[in-house]
Amino acid sequence: MEDPRDPFPLTLPLMFDDKHGNNGLGSKLEDVESNHHQASTSSSSFFKTCFNGLNALSGVGILSVPYALASGGWLSLILFFTLALAAFYSGLLIQRCMDYDSNIRTYPDIGERAFGNKGRILVSIAMYTELYLVSAGFLILEGDNLYNLFPGVGFEVAGLAISGKQCFVLIVALVILPSVWLDNLSLLSYVSASGVLASAIILCSILWTGAFDGVGFHQEGTPINWSGIPTAVSLYAFCYCAHPVFPTLYTSMKNKHQFSNVLLLCFVICTVSYASMAVFGYLMFGSGVQSQITLNLPTGKLSSKVAIYTTLVNPIAKYALMVTPIVDAVKNGFPCFLNKRLFGLLIGTTLVISSVIVALAVPFFASLMSLVGAFLSVTASIILPCLCYLKISGIYRTFNCEVVALVGIILMGVAVTTIGTYTSVLEIIGNLKI
């Protein structure tokens, strides 16, 4: 039986090996939306687990890494690789935590095993808040890029002027809303699984724009910009926020001893992709690179249109998959409602409306994602795995090199969270005053 306290369907892999006929993949995808955990246990091969891991790590963060590099300067790449290494190590710690207790199946289970019900609540809050803010970030991203393509759009309602970006946020929300009402998200799961391909297409399109469409790679940049380091590190951290998915990827594997190799391959590929985008984007546009590199691209070029339209399609498909776990969590939190279907529609609609309000009130993609990266991604992907491993393993009672390393990583995470959150909030407040 599934745990009603942890309705997090997105943690299940989107691809499985089929041993039971041609309809196996379809039934497994239905299990994703139904939370039938046992049906998908130990069914994924090394290759398909790698694909799911890459899909989890590949996200909209690739659009902001050039801006992050421009904010911190060339030497901030050292911090980027440090964060990548820390995130990889914390992923291995999640595997170790699960090896201590075979009953652990999800990320909140790890929090509960370490710190009881309070640990589960803390982990769940971090997960759901991150999902909610990222879904709001999707709307901002869509509004920014559509306005870049069609700058003259806008209308007036009852004497209230609605600008182009706000107009597109509302339009995209209306397009997305029916997908939130769906009970079966299997089709969107397929589209969401294209995140790896989408990231590759965006990277290749932008490289083509720089090499062959007259932009070039001529900007020199600055060695380091101390004032921009907090923003840079926060955006770098946002790229590595897939840790809540790792427990289910681990339980889904046939050969679980290969999971560390899966993590290594996924982190190497994604880190190379993120770093390549950051370096080439910075060389192309220098300090003028915007919060989403697609906003810098010349819209008249075919390669630019491919990158922009690929950027637009993926978040629309992923939005429903992002908010569905929140809807299920709220529904399971109020079992007194007999009509779960109607209640789910109400919650889904409310989430869309509220995320639209957030997107319109705080239309600053980089600042919002920087806040998510500093406050939530670092907490969920670096600090909590280290704390949970220290508690579950009991090694905090001894003094050795690993304990020193774990304490060092935790202190680094706390510093990034504190400074990054403070800087992000100040940026948002400052932008609101303009």
pLDDT (tens digit per residue) in 374-418? 999 999 999 999 999 999 999 988 889 999 999 999 999 999 999
Nearest to 268 by CA among 417, 394, 98, 84: 84
- pLDDT, residue 338, reads 62
Q: CA dist 332 to 4, 181, 310, 321, 340, Å?
A: 6, 17, 35, 17, 9
Instruction: Show the tokens assigned to 379.
Output: 């907490």
Cβ–Cβ under 8 Å, residues 145 and 292:
yes
- pLDDT, residue 313, reads 85
- pLDDT, residue 191, reads 67
* Residue ranges in the chain whose pLDDT is less than 50: 1-41
d(CA 1, CA 305): 47
Torsion of CA 131, 128, 166, 182, to 10 degrees: 80
Nearest to 171 by CA among 154, 159, 152: 154
Q: Determine the 3-state secondary structure of 246 from DSSP.
A: helix
Cβ–Cβ under 8 Å, residues 60 and 277:
no
| Torsion-angle region of 21 (φ positive above 0: left; ψ -120 to 50: alpha; else: beta) | left
Longest pairwise C-alpha distance within the chain: 68
* Residue partners of 300: CB distance under 8 A and separation at least 6: none
* Residue partners of 111: CB distance under 8 A and separation at least 6: 119, 120, 121, 122, 123, 124, 384, 388
Cβ–Cβ under 8 Å, residues 135 and 321:
no
Amino acid making up residue 170 = L
CA count, 13 A, side-chain hemisphere, 60 = 33
Q: At what angle do helices 401-433 and 76-100 cross, to 10 degrees?
A: 120
d(CA 426, CA 418): 12
Nearest to 94 by CA among 247, 238, 258: 247
d(CA 166, CA 143): 7
Place of tokens 């190799």: 261
| Torsion-angle region of 281 (φ positive above 0: left; ψ -120 to 50: alpha; else: beta) | alpha
The residues that bridge with 245 in the sheet, in sequence order, are: none
- pLDDT, residue 30, reads 36
- pLDDT, residue 29, reads 33
d(CA 318, CA 312): 11
Amino acid making up residue 417 = T
CA 269 to chain centre: 16
- As assigned by CATH, the class of the 45-433 domain is mainly alpha
| Torsion-angle region of 35 (φ positive above 0: left; ψ -120 to 50: alpha; else: beta) | left
d(CA 198, CA 399): 45
Cβ–Cβ under 8 Å, residues 219 and 283:
yes
d(CA 2, CA 351): 24
Helices and strands in the chain, H and E counts: 17, 2
- pLDDT, residue 192, reads 67
- pLDDT, residue 182, reads 80
Torsion of CA 117, 123, 129, 135, to 10 degrees: -130
